[in-house]
Each structure stands twice: as C-alpha cells, then as structure tokens.
Amino acid sequence: MATPTIVVFGATSQLGSYVAKALVATYEVRGVTAELDHDLQIKDLEDAGVQVQRLSFSDDPGLEASLAGAVGCFVVTASDLADPYGYDNEVQQGRAIAAACARARVPHVIYSTQLSVVHALGLRARHMDAKAVVESYMNELKLPLTGLVVPFFYENLLMPPFRPVQLAEDSYALMIPMGETSLDAMSMADVGGVVLCLFKHRDQFLRKTLTISGDKVTIKEMAASLTKHIPPFRFTDKQVTLEDYRRMQFEGAEDLANMFDFYYHVVQRPSVDLTKRCHPDVKRFDDWVRYNAHAISMATTGGPPRPPTTPARLI
C-alpha cells in the first residue's frame, strides 16, 4: 500500500521546515516554496527525505497540481513586517492556497493561524490579523480545516528583535514587554509533533481551532533559565513598557508591541496539557535552554558558555 502524501506549503520557512521533517517518517512529504534563494533550506529538506517544489503562489494550476493525491496539507503563510504590502501579500498567498485546496478537495487542511488583534483591541498586528483573515476565508470555502494557533517561539530569542541586548561584557537583557505576566511559548521544533498527531487523528480535530503551548513562563523566568544554563553570562528582564516598545526603531515594532498588548490583555486559554497529549516530548523553556545551551549562547552572546573563572564560595 502506498504511503499517504502530505503537502507542506511554506516548507522552507523555519516552522514549515520543522513540520515537514517531523512528518517525513510517517508520510510522503511534498514541500512547496515560493522562495527562489533558499537553496540551503531546500537541500536540508531534500536530505531529510522531503520532495521540494518551487512554485509561485500566483500559479493556480501549479498549486492545484502540487496537491494531487494528497491526504492532507499543512499551510504556513509568510509575514514580512518590513514590507508595506506584507499584509496584503500574506492574505493573497493564503487565499490562493485555500482555493487550490478547495479545487483539489484535500481531505484535511491544517493552517498555522492567529487570532485577530484588530478585532479584539482595535490595534493592528499585521502578521496576526492577516492569518485570521485567511482562516476566515478557509472557513468560507468550507475546507476540512483544523486551525492551529501557535504561541511565541523560544527560537525567537535567537534573532532580532527578540535577541537579548548586551548591556556589559557578560550582561544581557531581554526586552519583551510582558511585565510580570506569563507568556505562552514553545519550541518551533515541537510543533511538528503536534501536527503529526492532528493528521493521525483527523476526525477528532476537524473543524476546530486549537491554541497550543509548551510552557507558561515570565520574562524573568526566561532570564533566570538563560543565566543558569549559559555561564558566566547574566540575563535580566529589562522591564520595557508597551509604549517603550512601540517607539523602538525597527520595522514592525508597533505590530509586535500590539501583539504583546494582545497577549497581555486577551485571555486565549492555550493548553499545555492538550499540547502534551498530542506530543508528550514537548519541552518546557528551561529544558529547551539546557538542551540547546551552546547554540543559544553562540546566537545570543557570540560565544559558548564558559565555566566560572574562580571557584564558587560557600557563604
């Protein structure tokens, strides 16, 4: 009997890549990307056993053909906060994929979605609002849909604008405007295990939107874990306000501040327990830091963890 095929749209994105590689042990995985300059990501996927196709998301016949024979489809749409047309482009991309799924009669579509910040708070977070619009369109088309609301990713700390800011030689600060409120978060690598579970148990999760989380952690707790596992570097919570964040000089600062405003004020009820039932190996933040201390240290401080230069003294 032939192995069932799953199509992953946005396969060369970080999230798409993790999901495609998590599925490949169980399914034939066909990865679709519109990126023309992602040769390294494509080789990495192909080495893992993923069949990769380059397609323009304006190529309607090509999108439909890519779905031929597929029993399921996982969709990641691209957000570009530096592009003034990024919101419109993401919505257009999502609508094109949704329409192709409808024409191809794909039996199960899982979409990496978000809740609408503009509807909840009257503030725009374009990367979240666009996904909410795409999910709504998918429902209008009556796709056999599972919406998957993903939280803040641990891996965001490895890159601007969330990468810790250096204050002194061995001192770094996290600048995330959450105050004392816990942030739902998880490793991007663990999303693949959840998606695998959803495809395997289609009937249980069909026509539902699930909000997943690997941990609930304050920014102070994040800083404490980083300090514990990446010596001798010390990490602190800078305690920036939402208004401070909105005034920061990088593209998308207002969108991200509004996202954190949403996280702070709107109850989303993400379920760590549900996530663990789907993927028992999902990592808490402290475990993720411990397992990845060297890579995190290189990305955030430019150097590896170092042992203390003087013995610890008992007091």
Question: Is 248's pLDDT higher than 70?
Answer: yes
Question: Is 166's pLDDT higher than 80?
Answer: yes
* pLDDT tens per residue, range 221-242: 999 999 999 999 999 999 999 9
How much is the average pLDDT of 39-48? 94
Q: How does DSSP classify residue 122? A: S
Could you tell me if 249 and 215 are in contact, meaning their C-beta atoms sit under 8 angstroms apart? Answer: no
How much is the average pLDDT of 237-258? 96
Peptide linkage before 161 cis (omega within 30 of 0): yes
Question: Is 290's pLDDT higher than 80?
Answer: yes
Q: The pTM is what?
A: 0.94
Q: With cut-offs at 50, 70 and 90, classify the pLDDT of residue 307.
A: low
* SS3 label, residue 249: coil
Peptide linkage before 232 cis (omega within 30 of 0): yes
Residue 218 one-letter amino acid:
T
Q: Which of 284, 304, 286, 287 is nearest to 295 (CA)?
A: 304
Architecture of domain 153-184+213-268+283-307: Alpha-Beta Complex (3.90)
Could you tell me if 137 and 198 are in contact, meaning their C-beta atoms sit under 8 angstroms apart? Answer: no
Please, what is the average pLDDT of the chain? 93
Q: Which of 290, 152, 171 is nearest to 218 (CA)?
A: 152
CATH of domain 5-149: 3.40.50.720
Listed as own residue / partner, the contacts of 42-50 with beta carbons closer than 8 Å and 24 or more positions apart are 42/12, 44/17, 45/11, 45/12, 45/17, 45/20, 45/21, 48/20, 48/21, 48/24, 49/24, 50/8, 50/11, 50/20, 50/21, 50/24
Give the residue ranges of DSSP H helices in 206-252: 219-229, 242-246
Q: How far apart are the first and last CA of the chain?
A: 67
Using CA atoms, how far apart are residues 121 and 109, in angstroms rounded to an integer? 29
Q: Name the residue ranges covered by the structural domains of the chain.
A: 5-149, 153-184+213-268+283-307
Question: Is 17's pLDDT higher than 50?
Answer: yes
Could you tell me if 161 and 256 are in contact, meaning their C-beta atoms sit under 8 angstroms apart? Answer: yes
How much is the average pLDDT of 123-138? 98
